[in-house]
Amino acid sequence: MGLNSETPPIHTETSFSGRTKKIVRDPCLQPCSIERGMRILGGKWKGSILWHLKDGPVRFNDLTRMLGGASKKMVDQRLKEMETIGLVERHVLQTRPIAVAYSITDFGKSTLNVLEQLKTWAEQHGI
Amino acid sequence: MGLNSETPPIHTETSFSGRTKKIVRDPCLQPCSIERGMRILGGKWKGSILWHLKDGPVRFNDLTRMLGGASKKMVDQRLKEMETIGLVERHVLQTRPIAVAYSITDFGKSTLNVLEQLKTWAEQHGI
DNA sequence: CGGTATCCTCTACGATACTG
DNA sequence: CAGTATCGTAGAGGATACCG
């Protein structure tokens, strides 16, 4: 699964319409694949979320607690982003009160190597 | 080389002084090492910079061109951050006009595994 | 060439309160 | 419980101009 299959070009276009200057510079269309990868995983809580889901589904509030410091709003936003990308899945459990669990997809699992390396690196260097 | 050797605690402290509410929440003091690692490497251009320096010193303007879309200001900021952390080194070449080259340190090289994994992942999944 | 300085916009993110 | 709504601020980051 992928988002697009070709290396996208740098897209820096400047158009003038009357006095209005509009610059189109899509931050995801980067020439360097590392940069593009970082745009997906490098967000503020994304790596951690993925990591905390690796051992099984986790419920929303539990997740926010695990992240220690992230507001519900932020976690919600990141989860939605990651759901549309296909990194995580959302499951509604029919209970009262309602419960929602998030799980990692196969695509999400494909990032765990990278994250593990990052974790190892961080720990080895006392980050 | 490391920044600190122990896992820092969550530091979320709320203090009231009169009417003023001040919340201390240092973004670098995260319980999850992945999150902390991301704070170092996950910044907007840091991974790419490191990657482009891996084959030898690169001059400032060349670097900005390689990054394709980053302003001089941004590159400058990132480089300074990364210099103080010890990821890169700055060398002034005595020429006219002046030339400055940046190189990767040993500590910087220690990140290349992670970045390589990220690159591979991104390319395999068409990111 | 390798930056600084200035200005300005936009959005990331936190706090807080509310809802089905 | 799992969000949504609203508001507010700090800072990220771009444009532009200037300098030794």
Report if residue B51 sits inside a domain: yes
Q: Residue B56: which CATH number? A: 1.10.10.10
Q: Within a domain: residue A17?
A: no
Nearest-angstrom CA–CA distance, A54 and A34: 23
Nucleotides on chain C that have an atom closer than 7 A to a protein CB are 1-6, 12-17, 20
Structure tokens, B111: 């990140």
Q: In this structure, is residue B2 part of a structural domain?
A: no
A23 part of a folded domain? no
Residues linked to residue A102 through DSSP beta bridges, in sequence order: A58, A90
Q: Is residue B25 part of a domain?
A: no
Cβ contact B32 with chain D strand, < 7 A? no
- Tell me whether residue A50 is in a domain: yes
Percent of chain B with pLDDT over 70: 77
Tell me the C-alpha distance between A109 and B2, whole Å: 29
How far in angstroms lies nucleotide C14's C1' from the CA of residue B115?
31
- What confidence tens digit (pLDDT) does each residue in A61-118 have? 999 999 987 899 999 999 999 999 999 999 999 988 999 999 999 999 999 999 999 9
Asked whether the beta carbons of A79 and A102 are under 8 A apart, the reply is: yes
- Beta carbons within 10 angstroms of residue A82's beta carbon: 26
Q: Which domain holds residue A107?
A: 44-124
Distance CA B1, CA A102 (A): 37
Q: Assess if residue B9 is contained within a domain.
A: no
Residue A7 has pLDDT above 60, yes or no: no
Residue B13, pLDDT above cutoff 60: no
The residue in chain B having the minimum alpha-carbon distance to the alpha carbon of residue A37 is B122
- Average pLDDT along chain A: 81
Q: Which residue of A has its CA nearest to B24?
A: A69
Confidence check: pLDDT of B113 > 50: yes
pLDDT of residue B1: 41
Residue A67 placed within a domain:
yes
Confidence band for B73, pLDDT divided at 50, 70 and 90: very high
Residue B4 pLDDT = 38
CA-based end-to-end distance of chain B: 32
Which residues from chain A sit within 8 angstroms of residue B126, using beta carbons?
2-5
Q: Which helix (H) or strand (E) holds B52?
A: helix B46-53
Closest by Cα among A127, A113, A123 to A41: A113
Q: For residue A123, what are the contacts with CB-CB under 8 A and spacing of at least 6? A: B33
pLDDT recorded at residue B96: 83
Total structural domains in chain A?
1
